[in-house]
Amino acid sequence: MKVDKVINNNLVRSYREGREVLVMGKGLGFKKQRGDEIDENLIERIYAVEGKDRRNKLEALLGNIPYSYLQTTNEIVNYAKNSLGKPLSDNIYLTLTDHISFAIERAGKGIRLKNALLWDIRRLYNHEYLIGKEALTIIRRRLGVELEEDEAGFIALHIVNAQLDSGGMEETMEMTKMIQNILEIVKYHFCMELDESSIHYERFITHLKYFVQRLYRGVELKDDDDTFLEVIRTKYEKEYRCAQKIQEYVNKKVQRGLSEDELIYLTVHIRRVTQEEI
């Protein structure tokens, strides 16, 4: 790859396989000019560029944020990927860097941003929350800044957002509230507290994450096994009625009905989480 434009000492614009990219690495742009070869050994991160507007935003963000912040984000994202064992959307490198930058700026001014969803995040996205806690340790070690626990929750939501590849942080927060409300419907329907330490609860939360994501994407779950569906609906009538209550809530919230198949899979998970069966 060759330098197309030097943004700063650590960031240059280039092309790879005919696509415009921003290339980051310590000292990568130092004393470089257009047409110079990029030292492959110095490359730490390559950001894909899609469209002039996105390029301008990327250059403005990456060009003005301290390089140490970018390195810190890279370490946090790599840790998250290894811990979760799954890929994350590349957007997290940008959104999380931006968030960390503002969080540090707020901390310097003594401004604390309260995370109203912190309790829910700890319960619904415990793994991501623990990664958020580790991220605070990485930030403290690398940047010498002590951030509040609320920030661990915000970082967790960025990680959730990157897994779901949703429409943004606001949508992820709305999806989180919806999951919490669905859990409340189940608890009130059965007049019981759910065992949050059980494997069935963990699987139910996982199902709800993708269930809510499907709702926001307009994707319908389909299964052609009508015999199985009828057996479940008849055998677990109380659980099916609970699933219907969830359907009523969803309809009011996002004006969408649920397929019969979606109701049945909800019924199965509700049975497991309330009776620890199946």
HSE toward the beta carbon, residue 13, CA cutoff 13 A = 17
Q: What is the residue extent of each domain of the chain?
A: 5-52, 67-165, 171-275
Q: State how far the Cα of 130 lies from the Cα of 160, in Å rounded to an integer.
A: 12
φ, ψ of residue 6 in degrees (nearest 5): -90, 120
175 sits in which H/E element = helix 169-190
CATH 1.10.1790.10 applies to domain 67-165: yes
Residue whose C-alpha is closest to residue 237's, from 208, 267, 274, 195: 267
**Domain 171-275 CATH assignment equals 3.40.50.2300:** no
User: Half-sphere exposure of 171 toward its Cβ, with a 13 Å CA cutoff?
Assistant: 15
Residue 249's nearest CA partner among 167, 174, 182 is: 182
Q: HSE-up of 29 (CA within 13 Å, CB side)?
A: 18
- Tell me the C-alpha distance between 44 and 23, whole Å: 8
Which of these, 66, 54, 47, lies nearest to 104 by C-alpha position?
A: 66
Q: What is the pLDDT along the chain (278 residues), one digit of tens a residue?
A: 898 989 889 989 898 888 888 898 888 888 899 989 998 889 888 887 777 777 777 788 778 889 999 999 999 999 999 999 988 888 888 889 999 999 999 999 998 888 988 988 998 899 999 999 999 999 999 999 999 999 999 999 999 988 876 667 788 888 889 999 999 999 999 999 999 888 888 889 988 988 888 888 777 766 555 666 677 778 899 999 999 999 999 999 888 888 888 888 899 999 999 986 55
Report the phi/psi class of residue 252: left, alpha or beta, with left for phi > 0 and alpha for psi in -120 to 50: alpha
Which CATH fold would you assign to the domain 5-52?
Answer: Transcription Regulation, Sacy; Chain A (2.30.24)
Which pLDDT score is estimated for 225?
Answer: 56
Tell me the β-bridge partners of 2: 37
Phi, psi (deg, nearest 5) at residue 21: -140, 160
Cβ–Cβ under 8 Å, residues 166 and 175: yes
State the pTM of this model: 0.77
The predicted pLDDT at position 224 comes to 54
Q: How far apart are CA 135 and CA 150, in angstroms?
A: 12
Burial of 206 (0-12, 13-18, 19+ CB in 10 A): exposed
Same fold, 5-52 and 67-165: no
pLDDT of residue 170: 82
Largest separation between any pair of C-alpha atoms in the chain = 73
pLDDT given for residue 228 in this prediction: 63
